[in-house]
Amino acid sequence: MAGALVVCSAVPSVARAQLPLEPMRESGQSITAAYEGWFRNADGTVSLLVGYFNRNSKETLDIPVGPNNRLEPGGPDMGQPTHFLPRRNWGVFQIVLPADFGDQKLTWTIVANNQITEISMGLDPLWEVRPDREATMGNTPPAIRFEPDGPVAQGPPSGIVHEYTASVSAPLPLTVWATDDNIVDSNRRPLEGPPLRLFWSKYRGPGDVTFADPRPLPAEQSGKATTTATFGASGEYLLRVQGNDVTRDGGGGSQCCWTNAHVRVTVTP
């Protein structure tokens, strides 16, 4: 099931949110939360899988957690991004909820370019998904490690998987080892390019982040992929590394199979 986009009416004090079917523009448009479904965890809790749709084709926005970027009730901070890349971004974070969450709802409110959107999220049985395994072919998300034999990050982001320290303006080496099960749906037209792709981006942080190569290609045998990140200001950052297999962004609507992992970087002056 593909993640749906729902835009609620804006309050009178702000401009009307751009509708999903309106043409994209380079800048000046809204950002909408994208609720992609929920899934059960082994410990009995449940998780909401959440992305977003930045309707700007070029404009990147930074919106701090607070009145303009909040989750309620229980927030405003529930791990959502504060740095919003252009266009559609899939499964960028999950919200872990207690097993007895029941029929309650969470609402993510985003105000961008003076336009407000509010999306409610709950545990409707029709929205249950399996981001860890595609039902028909058994495809699973890429596995990403930050040490050759280190712990595996796979599927939706879960906490902080690695930590770094860096200095302002000094390139920080970022190395991962990425592998995939290479399961391909024979009924789909083959996609051009490498079967496993990585993408580094800023998720949160007080300044600009510049990647030498935001899309380093994993080596064929080892899966090793290296780039650097340079930070424009001191403070604490979260970076996101995304791994996509042949299903590419959004998994062709199946909510599987891609991996998002978050790392923390403490940057000193």
120 and 50 belong to one structural domain: yes
Residue 82 inside a domain? The answer is: yes
Is the alpha carbon torsion for 211, 25, 69, 119 positive or negative? negative
Is 90 within a domain? yes
| pLDDT tens digit sequence for 170-189 | 999 999 999 998 887 666 66
Do the domain assignments include residue 243? yes
Q: What pLDDT score does 3 carry? A: 40
- Asked whether residue 11 is domain-assigned, the answer is no
- Record the tokens describing residue 235, joined without a space: 């403070």
Are 179 and 117 in a shared domain?
Answer: no
CB atoms within 10 A of CB 232: 13
pLDDT computed for residue 12 by the predictor: 30
Domain extent, residue 215, equals: 143-268
- Residue 154: CATH number of its domain: 2.60.40.10
Confidence of residue 248 (pLDDT cuts 50, 70, 90): confident
Q: What is the pLDDT of residue 13?
A: 32
Q: Lowest mean pLDDT: which of 119-123, 172-176, 244-248?
A: 244-248
Same domain? 110 vs 156: no
- Does residue 16 lie within any of the structural domains? no
Q: What is the pLDDT of residue 177?
A: 97
Tell me, yes or no, whether 132 lies in a domain: no
As a dihedral over the C-alpha atoms of residue 86, residue 90, residue 93, residue 94, rounded to 10 degrees, the angle is 150
Residue 220: pLDDT band with limits 50, 70, 90: confident
Final residue in a domain of this structure, among 98, 127, 156: 127
Picking from 60, 92, 127, the residue at the C-terminal end of a domain is 127
Q: Which among 93, 127, 161 is the end of a domain? A: 127
Measured between alpha carbons, how far is 260 from 258 in angstroms, rounded to an integer?
Answer: 7
Which residue pairs from 41-44 have beta carbons closer than 8 angstroms and sit at least 24 positions apart in sequence? Answer: 41/96, 44/99
Residues 162 and 80 both lie in one domain: no
Domain shared by 181 and 254, yes or no: yes
Residue 189 has a pLDDT of 63
**Number of structural domains the chain divides into:** 2
- Do residues 122 and 149 both lie within one domain? no
Residue 7, in any domain of the structure: no
Question: For position 71, which CATH number holds?
Answer: 2.60.40
Lowest mean pLDDT across 101-105, 138-142, 240-244: 138-142
Beta strands at 258-268 and 160-167: parallel, antiparallel or unpaired: parallel
Contact 263, 242 (CB under 8 A): no
